[in-house]
Every structure is written in C-alpha cells, then in structure tokens.
Amino acid sequence: MMGFAALLIAALLGYFGVRLWLPNDNGRSPWTPALHASLGIGLGLGSTSCLYFLLLAGGAANLSVIVGCELVALCTAGAFVLRRRTASPPGGSPDALPSFSWNWLAALGLAAMLSLFVAGFANTSDLNPQGGWDAFAIWNLRARFLIHTETWKYAVTGLPVGTHMEYPLLLSSVIARGWVYAGSLSPIVPIATAFVFAVALVILLVSTLALARGASLGLLAGVLLLANPSFVNQAASQYADLPLAFFFLAALALIVLSGESARPARCLSLAGVFAGFAAWTKNEGTLLLIALAAALFVSAWRSAGWRAAARQSGIFLLGALPGLLLVLWFKMALAPPDPLAGQMTVNLGQKLAHAGRWFQVAGGFLKQAWELYIFPGPPLALLAVTCVVLRLRPRNQPSLAPLLAILIVLAGYFAIFLATKDDLEWLFATTLDRLYMHVWPALVLAVFLLLRRPEDFAVTSSPAKSRRAR
C-alpha cells in the first residue's frame, strides 16, 4: 500500500508544480486539468527520482528523511496553489473551439481501446510480474542496489557485463524509492510505475491535442496511439523506453502549447525540464534533448527570426540545465565508461565509406517499420488512412518543431547503427522496436497537428464558425 502512496505523493507534488509553473491560459477548459495531471505525473516522478538519488549519494536516503522532504515540499506547493487560486480574479470563459456532436463516438472508441490496454497490461503483468529481460537485468536489478545507502554504488559498477551500469538512473530511482516506501521488494511497484507512465502518456497526448486543435482530434489520436500493439507490450515489459517517450512527448507538447500561451517562456522552460528528465532516463535521452533544442531553434528562426530563436532555445536549455548537470556528474564521476562511445570511432571511416552498410541499415529500418507499424502491425497504416480522410489543414504556419525533432532523432539513431561494431541483424531484432516507440507518440502528435478536424467538414457552411476553425 505504501508503494502506491509513493506514486500518489509524487503525482500530487508534480501536479502542484505544474499548476504553479504554467500560466492559466485555458483555465475553464475541461482538458486543462487532464493536461496538468499528466504533466504532473511526469514532473513528480522525475523530480522525486532526482531528489532520491541525491539523498542516496549523500547518505541520507532513509524513509523518514525522504517522506519528510517530500511532505514539506508537497505542503508548501499546495499552499501556494491554494493562495494563487483564491487570489486570482474570476476570468471569463476562453475562446472555446467548436464542439462536435460526434465526439461521444470518439470518446467511446478511446474508452474501448483503454479497456483493451488495461486488460492486456494486466494479463501480461500477471504472467510475467518481473517484466521483460531488460527490466529484470538492468532497471529493476539496479533499483535493488539503490534501496540502501551502503549498496547504491553497486548500481554504477562495471560488472556484471551486459547490465549497462552506465545508463542513467531515473527509472531505477523511482522504483527504489517506491520499494523504500513499501518496505519490501514488491513487484507491484515497478508494475504500477510502468502503468502510470503509460496512462499518463495517453492522457497527455489527448489533452494536448484537445487544447491545441479540439477534442475530436485529441480523442482520435488517443485511439490511434493505443492501436499500436508494441505500446501494450513495452508498457508491461517495464522498460525505460515508454517513460522516455513520455518525457519526449511532454517537451514537444509544451513547445507546441507555448505558441498559443500568454507566457510562452514558462512553457518552454518546463519543456526543458522534461527534456532534462529524458536525459536522466536513458542515454538516448541526450539525443532527444539535442533534437528538441535544434528543432525549437529552427522552427522559431523560421517564424520569428534568429533573435527570437536564440531566446526561446536559451529558455528551453535553462530549464534542462538541472537534469543535464545531474547526468554530467553521474557520467563523469560515478558511471563506468560507455562501451558504445568507445566503439563509435573504430573503423568509422571505413564504415561510412561502405555503401553496402548504408543500404543494410536503411533496409533494416524500413523492414522493422513495415513489420511493426504497417503489416501485420497496423498503426502507421491507420495513421496514413486518417491523413487521407481528414486531409491537411489549410496552410497557416503550423509548428514544424515536432516533425523536425522526430527526423533529427531518427537520423541520430541511423548514424549510431552505421557506426556501431555490433551485429546489425541482432540490433534490428532487439532494439528497433523500442527506438521507434520513443518517437511514436510524438509522431501521432505531429501529424494530428497538421490535419483538419472532423468538425471542420460539418461547419463549412457557417461563415461565422468557419472563421473560428483553426
């Protein structure tokens, strides 16, 4: 029971933090609490993970200290939220997007897909409560070392080989913190953590699109996200890839919403915080952070000039700075050397000059994409059908940052496959499905931002309403 309390405290702490951080641009929208709740889960789990690891490294990570620090922060943040709520004058209703009479059908579809996800997750977790191999051999194994101040350094040793002790520790710290609360190594803690991240990711995608483009597109995007069989499998596997996808999506969502915010700097700085959490989750998170910063700079430069681009990117990187500093300290002072970094330069010129290797990597990427996302896996095919049915919205400077960030990430993964000395066929079979999951929710967001809404087809006869359509 106390393991669930750990998740609840983190979620409440994050929710209050988001309420204080973000401007109340859509205060009357029914989707704003959903957005704040989903972001709050990520902010709470990420920040309490960092706090727990710092207390652990300082030799103070016992239950009383952890609970004391978090309850003080929770009460303080809650008091500020209450004070801000009572001090804020009542505002008018925001400019609501046109409602669509068939939204109930999309909501019913999303509820059905969520039910199938919960059933599949529960069944898989019941059959294999320890999760997939990487969960058992990497994330949960390291969490076992992180539950005590005298054993935590075993989570960053060079042995045993194959356990990737050089990986960052966000997920392992979250699980270890839950075990400290629970007082035992209950498998419920990593299972509940994986479930919470997965559900928060769905709510985040739906609420972001509902606020930016309307409820109908948000609900349809949630259905499409859950139509990916890999989503259920990877959530129940308890890997760090779904939390990484959550933080990537959270940063992109905030970048998108900053374009319509009265105080965009707050959204961009919080986006940076989530990007920093991504770097603290997996090594690939650093690439995601770089991609986000580059995409934000290019998108802002395209729309507002290089000065605005430099300012926005600077705010984003300032938000990411705490997470980057923690990762830098971890990598330089604690973690063993990254074997991937050492092998990247071995025969690099020969690999890059070999045309057959380029074709082999490209073929592997396309083959896995076809098998996982087109046939027999349908999600990418469903996304293409949705694009054909709804069609692209009229050209009005939509944000290209999400698509650009995804392309940069995929290009980075492609370059890593080119440079690695590991067997490519083995990598295609064991890693590409997880790498694609990093960008799948972000791809759904990026594509749906470019599409017309179902209600646009229903209100075109009304000029007054058409002018309000985005």
Q: Mind listing the pLDDT tens digit for each residue in 268-326?
A: 999 999 999 999 999 999 999 999 999 999 999 988 888 999 999 999 999 999 999 99
Number of domains in the chain: 1
Task: Report the C-alpha gap between 410 and 426 in whole angstroms.
Answer: 19
- At 90-126, the pLDDT tens digits run 544 445 555 667 888 999 999 999 999 999 999 999 9
DSSP one-letter code for 147: T
Residue 320 CA to residue 286 CA, distance in Å, equals 11
pLDDT computed for residue 161 by the predictor: 58
Q: Is residue 125 in some structural domain?
A: yes
Inside any domain, residue 381 = no
Kindly report the pTM of this predicted structure.
0.93
What would the DSSP string read from start to end of 22-80? S--TTTT-TTHHHHHHHHHHHHHHHHHHHHHHHHHHTT--SHHHHHHHHHHHHHHHHHH
Please list the ranges in the chain whose pLDDT falls under 70: 25-28, 87-100, 159-163, 340-348, 377, 395-398, 459-470
pLDDT at 393: 82
**Would you state the torsion angle of the CA atoms of residues 62, 63, 64, 70, taken in this order, to the nearest 10 degrees?**
110
- Tell me what pLDDT residue 93 has: 44
What local confidence, expressed as pLDDT, does residue 467 receive? 45
Q: Which pLDDT value is given to residue 262?
A: 83
Q: Is the dihedral of CA 61, 63, 65, 70 positive or negative?
A: positive
The pLDDT, as a whole number, for residue 419 is: 87
Q: How far apart are CA 247 and CA 289, in angstroms?
A: 10
3-class secondary structure, 392? strand
pLDDT tens digits, residue range 410-431?
999 999 999 888 889 999 998 9
The candidate with the shortest Cα–Cα distance to 41, out of 76, 78, 13, is 13
CB 278 within 8 A of CB 385: no
Q: Is residue 169 part of a domain?
A: yes
The residue length of the chain stands at: 470
Please give the C-alpha separations between residue 260 and each of 30, 116, 175, 452, 461, in angstroms, as whole numbers.
Answer: 17, 34, 36, 18, 27
CB 444 within 8 A of CB 224: yes
| Domain span at 338 | 2-82+113-342
Report the chain's mean pLDDT, rounded to a whole number. Answer: 89
Give domain status of residue 257, yes or no. yes
Q: Copy the structure tokens of residue 233.
A: 């499998």
The verdict on residue 240 lying in a domain is: yes
Residue 77 belongs to a domain = yes
Q: Give domain status of residue 106, yes or no.
A: no
In a domain, 371, yes or no: no
**pLDDT number for residue 98:** 56
Which uninterrupted H or E stretch holds 348? Answer: helix 348-353
What is the spatial distance between Cα 290 and Cα 279, in angstroms, rounded to a whole number?
10
Give SS3 for 451: strand
pLDDT for residue 375: 78
| 234-248 pLDDT per residue, tens | 999 999 999 999 999
Query: Is there a contact between 21 and 266 (Cβ–Cβ < 8 Å)?
Result: yes
- pLDDT value of position 302: 87
